Amino acid sequence: MLDILYIEDNLNEIDIFKRVLSHLVNPPSFTVLSNGSDAIDYLLQQGIYEDKTYPMPRLVLIDLNLPGQNGFEVIQQVRANTGTKYLPLLVYSISDLADDIRRAYNLGANAYLIKPQSYQEVSELMRRAIDFWLTPNQYVR
């Protein structure tokens, strides 16, 4: 089982994410994909992921500014597919623009988290998000 799929192209952000998770008492399993097109293929089990068995994540953290298809396009395609329609999608972006937040929610994001500036704030935000979305929360496919 895969706990988190993190869709992010910034190597510094990926490194911070990995360090934060490594310091948790029970770190979740995770996979990182660096562009939106690969994320769509993975989640919809198409392209290079077709006819192969890959674990579906319990939670998706997605940046908006991605190469290939952007985060908005990923959300839209994941929500349009019956197999991933209810998958928890959390936008994790540096953008605090009201239009981006509104658009993400309108497309079906479950939450919109703005990336904090300090490592300690990132650590606390990730811990709280993981505690909520992976511990008590349930979803159906």
- For residues 4 and 60, the answer to whether their CB atoms sit within 8 Å is yes
Residue with tokens 């934060």: 20
pTM higher than 0.85, yes or no?
yes
Q: What is the pLDDT of residue 115?
A: 95
pLDDT band of 55, cuts 50, 70, 90? confident
Mean pLDDT of the chain: 92
How confident is the model over 59-94, as pLDDT tens digits?
999 999 999 999 999 999 999 999 999 999 999 999
- Second-level CATH architecture of 2-134: 3-Layer(aba) Sandwich (3.40)
Q: What is the pLDDT of residue 99?
A: 98
Residue 137 has pLDDT above 70, yes or no: no
Residue 14 has pLDDT above 60, yes or no: yes
Domain chopping of the chain, boundaries: 2-134
Distance between CA atoms of 125 and 122, rounded to whole angstroms? 5
Rounded to 10°, the helix 98-107/71-80 angle is 20
Distance between CA atoms of 13 and 19, rounded to whole angstroms? 10
pLDDT band of 141, cuts 50, 70, 90? low
